Amino acid sequence: MDHVDDFNQDGNVDTKRSDIYAWPGKNNPYFEEFNGFPIQQGDYPLAEFIDVDQDGNYNPDHGDYPTVHNLSADRMPNRMILLCIIIVENMFFNQNML
């Protein structure tokens, strides 16, 4: 995963990828900048993420990154692709059933 490698090199993220910085993790300070609207702030879980600094908040500048059902980073893209395929198939199937 590029973001993880970038952070691990020197503790800084040099390339701010929108798929990482736009993630709706709890208290993401970059959410509005990358999505164009604010995230609802609060003490409750939103989208899952790996909390590298274990502070309970999603901040990609601190090495945090998205996850799906706490899968490891090397399996996450495959899981996300599978979920997208399932969603598209369900949309197509339901549209044809109307």
Mean pLDDT on 12-41 = 89
Kindly indicate the confidence band of residue 62, based on its pLDDT and cuts at 50, 70 and 90. very high
Query: What percentage of the chain has pLDDT greater than the value 70?
Result: 69
Q: What is the DSSP string of 8-56?
A: HHHSS--S--HHHHT---TT-TTHHHHHSSPPPPSSS--S-EE-TT-SS
Mean pLDDT on 40-46 = 71
pTM above 0.85?
no
Q: Which two tokens stand for residue 23?
A: 């993630």
Instruction: Output 37 or 46, whichever has higher pLDDT.
Output: 37
Query: What percentage of the chain has pLDDT greater than the value 90?
Result: 33
Which residues 6+ apart lie within 8 Å of 63 measured at CB? 4, 7, 8, 11, 13, 52, 53
